[in-house]
Amino acid sequence: MELRLQLLSFLFSWGLGALLGIIFDFYRLWSEFYHWPKWIKALGDLIYWIIATILVFFSLLGVNGGQMRFYILLAVTLGLASYWFWFSPHVYRIISQIWRRLVNLIKKIIWLVTRPLVWLGIVLAWPWRWLLILWKNLWIRLWIKPKRNLYQRLEKWWTEKKERRK
């Protein structure tokens, strides 16, 4: 392998390490935003590393025919470390703000769409409300109160019967 191809592979691997750091920042933001249980976070970590391995494999396959050398692993590690220490705090803050604004925008859109539906439901339910109130009053008067009166009369009759026996 000639020197120019090795240098190109090294620089590409460095950039690939930085890309893995960016992907990890998105994953970290997503997992912190949703507060998942530990087993789901562990599964997410496993999926991240599977995706990272596949990405590294196919990238190296395209760049240098899939030759894995020590300096390639070193370059991926240095790219990830340099991204993590120099750029990650800034990139994470930016994508975090973008994510929060996007979530707030979606919430506002949902609120704007559902609010007229709620008012429409209130307007359409208004006539039915009076029918339900009327039905409730009829139910109480025709069904509940007679039974309550019957129960009170039976209780009164029973206590009078017990007193007569004494």
**Which residue type does 141 have?**
R
Would you say residue 150 lies in a domain? no
Asked if residue 166 is part of any domain, the answer here is no
Identify the pLDDT of residue 22: 92
Number of domains observed in the structure of the chain: 1
| Model pTM score | 0.62
Query: Which pLDDT does position 158 carry in this prediction?
Result: 79
In this structure, which amino acid lies at residue 38?
Answer: K
Q: What is the DSSP letter of 66?
A: T
| Closest-CA residue to 10 (of 73, 87, 56, 85) | 73
Q: Is 89 among the domain residues? A: yes
The answer to whether residue 110 is domain-embedded is yes
Decide if 120 is inside a domain.
yes
Closest CA to 44 of 29, 19, 27: 27
Dist CA 27 CA 19 (whole Å): 12
The reported pLDDT for the residue numbered 137 is 74
Distance between CA 70 and CA 75 in Å, rounded? 9
Backbone φ and ψ for 99, nearest 5 degrees, come out as -65, -45
In whole angstroms, give the CA distance from residue 80 to residue 71.
14
The answer as to whether 95 is a domain residue is yes
Distance CA 118, CA 124 (A): 10
Asked if residue 17 is part of any domain, the answer here is yes
User: Does some domain include residue 160?
Assistant: no
Task: Check residue 150 and give its pLDDT.
Answer: 67
Residue range of the domain that includes 14: 3-131
Tokens of 158: 């029973």
- Rounded CA-CA distance 33/99 in Å is 9
Q: What is the pLDDT along the chain (166 residues), one digit of tens a residue?
A: 688 878 888 888 899 999 999 999 999 888 888 888 889 889 999 999 999 989 888 888 887 777 778 888 898 889 999 999 999 999 999 999 999 999 999 999 999 988 888 888 878 777 777 777 777 777 776 666 666 666 677 778 778 877 877 6
Buried b / exposed e over 101-123, threshold 16 CB at 10 Å, is eeeeeeeeeeeeeeeeeeeeeee
State the pLDDT at residue 147.
Answer: 67
